[in-house]
Amino acid sequence: MRRSPPCRALLMSLVTWLVTGLMAGTANADEAAWRALERGRAIVLLRHAVTEAGIGDPPGFTIGKCETQRNLSEQGRRDALRIGEAFKVRKIPISDVLSSRWCRCVDTATLAFGRATPAPMLDSMFNEESKARVRKVNLVRDAIMQRQRAGKTSGNLILVTHQQNILAIADVSPASGEMIVTEADGKGTLHVIGRIGPDEY
């Protein structure tokens, strides 16, 4: 049975309304994320920028030896620089920048923010079993609670890590170079405020 023109028009209007609503919701979440960053009390989970083709790392890779790892691509390096520029333009305050010891994370942090403090608790979970993953998540939460108890809440905390880690910590699967902007409760659990993708810097 063919739809009448009014039915098709109604269907198109409904689709347009849904798409517009989704886009508006995303834009609002992005703006909420930027506002939280401008206040300077957020905790940012940043997945390393785009890498060379591949999954995980080559067999026998070594921490500290970038030539044995999967590293940032040229696009990834450009994206990391754009993150830093966006922070400068918006005058986003930063306290500490902690990074996985994997070179693609250290390079993302250094290119974007000019510094990176290696933090083993942010190292890749890719080949780890569930107990090891839970242990790392707890270490991150403990570190956040220690920071709160010490009164270090001025300036955003940047955590540069991997997709699997962010999924375990915040139950969100980010794209390469995507920021998940969060706030912590009293138990160190992170609650997502918004997301800022690499094409939004």
Give pLDDT, residue 186: 85
This prediction's pTM: 0.85
CA distance linking residue 143 with residue 174, whole number of Å? 22
Give pLDDT, residue 25: 45
Give pLDDT, residue 19: 47
Q: What is the DSSP track for the chain?
A: -PPPHHHHHHHHHHHHHHHHHHHHHHHHHHHHHHHHHHHT--EEEEE---BSS-SS--TT--TT-GGGS--B-HHHHHHHHHHHHHHHHHT--EEEEEE-SSHHHHHHHHHHHS--EE-GGGS--TT--HHHHHHHHHHHHHHHHHHHHTT--SSEEEEEE-HHHHHHHHS--PPTT-EEEEEE-TTS-EEEEEEE-GGG-
Give pLDDT, residue 20: 47
Give pLDDT, residue 123: 98
Domains of the chain: 5-200 (3.40.50.1240)
Give pLDDT, residue 200: 87
Question: Which pLDDT tens digits describe the chain residue by residue (201 residues)?
Answer: 555 556 566 665 554 544 444 444 445 558 999 999 999 999 999 999 999 998 888 888 999 999 999 999 999 999 999 999 999 999 999 999 999 999 999 999 999 999 999 999 999 999 899 999 999 999 999 999 999 899 877 899 999 999 999 999 999 999 999 999 999 998 889 999 999 998 888
